[in-house]
Amino acid sequence: MAETQLSIEAILAQDLTLCRVNASSKKRVLELIAEKVAKHYPELEDSQVFNSLIARERLGSTGIGQGIAIPHCRIDGCVRVIGALLTLSDGVDFDAIDNQPVDLLFALIVPKEATGEHLELLSQLAEKFNDRHFCDRLRQCEDPDSLYLAMTGH
Active site residues: 72
CB-based burial label for 142 (10 Å; 0-12, 13-18, 19+): exposed
The conformation of residue 22, written as its DSSP 8-state character, comes to: -
10 Å Cβ neighbour count for 87? 22
* Cβ partners under 8 Å of residue 113, min gap 6: none
